[in-house]
Amino acid sequence: MEFIALKEKLEKHSLRSELIRHPFFDYLEKADVSRELAAHFVGQWWHPLHYFPTFLSRMISSTGTLAVKTATSQILFQELGEGNVARAHESIYITSMQQAGFTLEQITQAKALPSTAALVSGYEASSYNELTGIGFMYATEVADLAMVSAIGTAVRRAVGPIKLEWVDIHIQQEPGHVSDASGTIALDYSEFEVAEIIGTAETAWKLWIGFFNALYALADQEARVA
C-alpha cells in the first residue's frame, strides 16, 4: 500500500476522531473542577507518562529497521530531556504539578484505575514487535497534544491560571514527534504489515478512549455527589 493511502487511513480513522473529540475534553472547557478531582486526573496520567520512555526503548531494541530506530530514538531523546534529566518530560511534569499545588504522592503514587493499567499493558505488549510498536507510537503522537492540553485544562480549571511548562514543552516538541512518527509509516509495507499497523493503532486509540471514559466517569461521580 502506498504511504499516502496508509497515512490517510490513519488520519481519517473514526477512532482517532473519537479520541481527539472525546466529550471529556469539551466538559473541561466549562466545568468546575475541584482540586481533588484534578489530583485524580494528574495521578492517572502519570502512569502512561512514566512508562512511555520504556515503551520507546523496548521498541528500539525490537526493530531491525534503521529508519524506525532513528525516528523512535529522536522522540526518546526529547522525552528523556536531551541529556538533561531535569528536562525529561516526567521531571517537568512533576515540577509543573507541584507548582500547581499537588503533592508528589498525588502525582506519582496514585493507584492505576483498571483502564489506566490496561493502557500501560497495551504499550508494553506492543513494544516487542516493530509493527505493533509503530502502530502504538503513531497513534499516540497524533493525539498527544489534544490529550496533554486536556490535562492542562483540568489543572487550570481547578487551581486557576498558571504556567504549566509540561504543556508548553509539548507544544514546542509535538510537531517534531508527529513528523518522526509519520516517518515510520512512510516505509514500504506489505498488505499484512499495513493491517497490523492499523489494527494496533486502533487498539491504542480504544485504550486511550477507555482511559478518558474513566476520567469522565470520575467527574460525573463528583458532580452527582455535589
CATH of domain 3-221: 1.20.910.10
Give me the pLDDT at residue 204, please. 98
Q: What is the mean pLDDT of residues 39-62?
A: 97
Name the burial class of residue 206, with classes exposed (0-12), middle (13-18) and buried (19+) by CB atoms within 10 angstroms of its CB.
Answer: middle
In the predicted structure, residue 100 carries a pLDDT above the cut 60? yes
Which residue type is seen at 103? T
Mean pLDDT of the chain: 93
**CA distances in angstroms from 40 to 9, 34, 43, 137, 146, listed in the order given:** 34, 10, 5, 25, 19
pLDDT at 102: 97
Domain ranges, ordered by start, for the chain = 3-221
pLDDT in tens, 83-95: 999 999 999 999 9
Q: Report the alpha-carbon distance of residue 120 to residue 50 in Å, rounded.
A: 10
